[in-house]
Structure 1
């Protein structure tokens, strides 16, 4: 379980590198903020397509290497290659193009294509990673598995932002490139390759064998999309409610994750930077380091929260009426008093939305690097819950499907495996999985169809990102229609734009706060839902 979650951390390292540097990188190349926001449709578009499709295909894969492993390996190779291309776009284009204007345009095009390829491939890796957790853990360990995923994600963020905050020139010299951005792409690619390699070696995944009862024509593109659509339209009530919480929550998280580093860097350049810093030859590196430092604080708080919160928050299976803990007699009075004040995970999740909203409403009023760092850091606790709570609840609900009334008891021992029609089959080889699929009863799928349910959860994570993208585009077009005055000087030295007026990213963060209030309301409704 812990080894697989290392992959979650490495994936977030990659995401962190992209989110920290790619927005200012594109602005430095001369894109306006409104056009840059359209580039980030890559994130939700890749999640919308890749995660559910990869989930369905992997659920039914009969590869001798396992259902998830091939997607992780191929996706990792693509991500690593495209990260390196992204770091060296100018040099690659320069090998084929000499005209200045054409070279500038080709560089932007290649950078955007690389970002799209990274996003599509990393979604395949992340989908397989999350499915492995649900595949391999029984209900009582779903919260623990998701909590460890949250911890590794926070470690990935911490290591990634920590590396970004360092002056890597002093650490590596010119061995990994001549700029901070290039060095970070190399480190991110290597980290992902190592993490996936360790996961593939250490995590035992059972092979799905055909028993001749499956329909051989149900794996085509149309069948996959039809299955996703039908399952989405007939979700169990609680899974549907969890998805809607995720929907409202991610309208708020999208601008924070994609623009917070750039926002902190712009606040620094506008209010705190010395004239020498503003004219530095590696402005992108300066913004990346300053923004990364604020996100290091954010990641430290997330890291502490991801370790401490599972101890002080009641696990979902302990929320049932009549549950009585049995601590050692000497500790019983203390444990009993502590358990009485323990919040439920649902309560903690609800409060986390409100904490995030409360911090983001102050974004438009921030006028110093210290204040910006404080606002970002406060969001560490909500992010720890956002990386843990939804996957805990969705994992529990997926596993409950196989234990519904009229079904045999759920077994997760080495010789049993739940089947998609909620029946069981004794296996004499623990490395073999033989489900009988019932195409007429999609809702009866169990943990073996974790891919499709997690893919659908990801749909409700990515759809609000489209909304956030278009909100950002409108805000940027109104408030900052020109090229970035802080970052576009190198690409367009003849153009000058004022830094007066409200910061457009701060306004996007404020709008996201309003959506988080809606997420808090949607979460509170889960309490009374059967």
Structure 2
């Protein structure tokens, strides 16, 4: 990568008010509200439309694919955007517009499917599935269009100040937690559809109507936060970049992304490897956590009886507890680790994550043992088993807070000191998140089916990945040294 040309694109390091930083970071709450609904409700919903469990994970392939392609491309072109509205804001606005369209397609998939010929009485609704998948993939693309420029804009606001970079990432992680809490709380409510009576139709039952209602609230929240941030936070147009590159298009992008990878130093490669293994550990649980509650803990079946729906709502409650811990930890994490111990914290919490994932096996066995001994098979599990499952959700908020902040802060610092564009470099980091998600999406469904159709095999695989990630973080991953950062504490709030 041509470092000198990229240095010319670096934003001014003049200080910006903390309010601007908070406003931009708050967009994460709107984005994550939608992600929370995806993670808690859409895997069960796509199974209700007739997609078998072992293929449900394939639907999620768009997330990592769009992350692999969209974030680096958007990051690259946002680094070079010369719009009078700024470099990042046009991409953020476009992402919000796409979210609105995607939400409509997902929420009304069943209605559109029936109007196009799906039967109300068949278990599988192929036309609804097609509409759902289109909307779902569009939503993932839109979310990736939003997240990359938002993080890059925070890095722009921070300038060369690594303390501000850390603060910005801490606030972003905090607002992700806020969005999670709101999204999972909404997903756990069974009467939300009463706010929007028109959502209940012949093709859309109460579960589906609640999903529609949640997405209406999600797009309203995201739109409001985005408008506030875009109006208040102004960008200087990127006029420093030379126009000689104009017109080379995709070839130039491929050259730059290849150059960025070639210029990466050993610490950054280790960071990418630790991140990759870390996300193998996370994605299996994030994909099937509420399905695990509905099937393994509550003993329900998709579309049969009330136990599965109760379990999904209980899973949403667990995810809300997870997000509360995530939010508290996100703001507290910067006081718990110095520059020299960032890798130590990440390594330790990876072992915490592994223990939690292995504990799902114990809780599942206890729930199954209780069902076999119970006379009434239609009763939910006892309070102790539910408390154990919810405790796993809550404790996982601790390592999740580190995952959402530390690697991005380290990547921003490495990028700032090498003179690279923030958008492109964060896009490269996102490749290390997207590739393991693709791996898990393709493997988890068949793996679970091979062991009886449950969710535990994907969780156990995640536990082993977390252990390896923790070992590498403790033994190979360096924290930014004094030559990387002029500050005493790269993870200190100012």
TM-score scaled by length of structure 1: 0.76
Q: CA deviation at 1:123?
A: 0.4
Runs (4 or more) in structure 1 with deviation over 6 Å come to none
Distance 1:63 1:474, change over 3 A: same
Equivalent of 1:172, from 195, 216, 226? 195
Superposed CA deviations along residues 405-431 of structure 1, whole A, max 9, x for unmatched, are xxxxxxxxxxxxxxxxxxxxxxxxxxx
1:360 aligns with 2:380: no
Equivalences for residues 237-386 of structure 1 within 5 A: 237-270=266-299, 279-280=305-306, 286-314=310-338, 316=339, 319=340, 344-366=341-363, 367=367, 368-386=385-403
**Residue 113 of structure 1 aligns with which residue?**
134
Equivalent of 1:104, from 106, 125, 138? 125
Q: CA deviation at 1:371?
A: 2.1
Distance 1:528 1:172, change over 3 A: closer
Distance 1:32 1:176, change over 3 A: closer
**Residue 464 of structure 2 aligns with which residue?**
514
Equivalent of 2:156, from 132, 135, 143? 135
Superposed CA deviations along residues 352-399 of structure 1, whole A, max 9, x for unmatched, are 111001111122222233222122221010001111111111111122
**Residue 201 of structure 1 aligns with which residue?**
231
How far apart are the structure 2 equivalents of 1:176 and 1:144?
A: 41
Superposed CA deviations along residues 145-165 of structure 1, whole A, max 9, x for unmatched, are 111111111111111111222
Q: CA deviation at 1:182?
A: 1.4
How far apart are the structure 2 equivalents of 1:135 and 1:528?
A: 22
- Secondary structure at the aligned position of 1:526 is classed as coil
- Secondary structure at the aligned position of 2:86 is classed as coil
Distance 1:3 1:175, change over 3 A: farther
How far apart are the structure 1 equivalents of 2:472 and 2:118?
A: 55
Cα pair 1:131 1:454 within 8 Å, conserved: yes
- Secondary structure at the aligned position of 2:83 is classed as coil
**Residue 463 of structure 1 aligns with which residue?**
435
Q: CA deviation at 1:75?
A: 1.2
Cα pair 1:269 1:278 within 8 Å, conserved: no
**Residue 527 of structure 1 aligns with which residue?**
478
**Residue 392 of structure 1 aligns with which residue?**
409
Distance 1:211 1:354, change over 3 A: closer
**Residue 109 of structure 2 aligns with which residue?**
89
Q: CA deviation at 1:74?
A: 1.1
Cα pair 2:106 2:132 within 8 Å, conserved: yes
Cα pair 1:267 1:369 within 8 Å, conserved: no
Distance 1:98 1:158, change over 3 A: closer
Unpaired segments ≥5 residues, structure 1: 320-343, 402-444, 482-503
Q: CA deviation at 1:38?
A: 1.0
Range with bigger deviation, 287-296 or 242-251:
287-296
Q: CA deviation at 1:209?
A: 1.6
Cα pair 1:180 1:285 within 8 Å, conserved: no
Distance 1:479 1:29, change over 3 A: farther
Distance 1:255 1:104, change over 3 A: same
Q: CA deviation at 1:311?
A: 2.2
Superposed CA deviations along residues 423-480 of structure 1, whole A, max 9, x for unmatched, are xxxxxxxxxxxxxxxxxxxxxx33xx10110000000000011111222022133134
Q: CA deviation at 1:175?
A: 5.6
Equivalences for residues 57-72 of structure 1 within 5 A: 57-72=77-92
Q: CA deviation at 1:54?
A: 0.5
How far apart are the structure 2 equivalents of 1:8 and 1:518?
A: 30
- Secondary structure at the aligned position of 1:270 is classed as coil
**Residue 13 of structure 1 aligns with which residue?**
33
- Secondary structure at the aligned position of 2:298 is classed as helix
1:505 aligns with 2:477: no
Superposed CA deviations along residues 510-529 of structure 1, whole A, max 9, x for unmatched, are 11010011111221212388
Q: By percentage of residues, which structure has more helix?
A: 2
TM-score scaled by length of structure 2: 0.82
Q: CA deviation at 1:232?
A: 1.6
**Residue 188 of structure 1 aligns with which residue?**
218
Distance 1:30 1:93, change over 3 A: closer
Cα pair 2:57 2:287 within 8 Å, conserved: no
1:478 aligns with 2:450: yes
How far apart are the structure 1 equivalents of 2:119 and 2:189?
A: 35
Q: Size of the alignment, in residue pairs?
A: 429
Superposed CA deviations along residues 214-269 of structure 1, whole A, max 9, x for unmatched, are 32233x12221232122123312222221111111000011111111221222343
- Secondary structure at the aligned position of 2:112 is classed as helix
**Residue 180 of structure 2 aligns with which residue?**
157
- Secondary structure at the aligned position of 2:235 is classed as coil
Q: CA deviation at 1:87?
A: 1.0
Unpaired segments ≥5 residues, structure 2: 1-20, 201-205, 368-384, 482-494
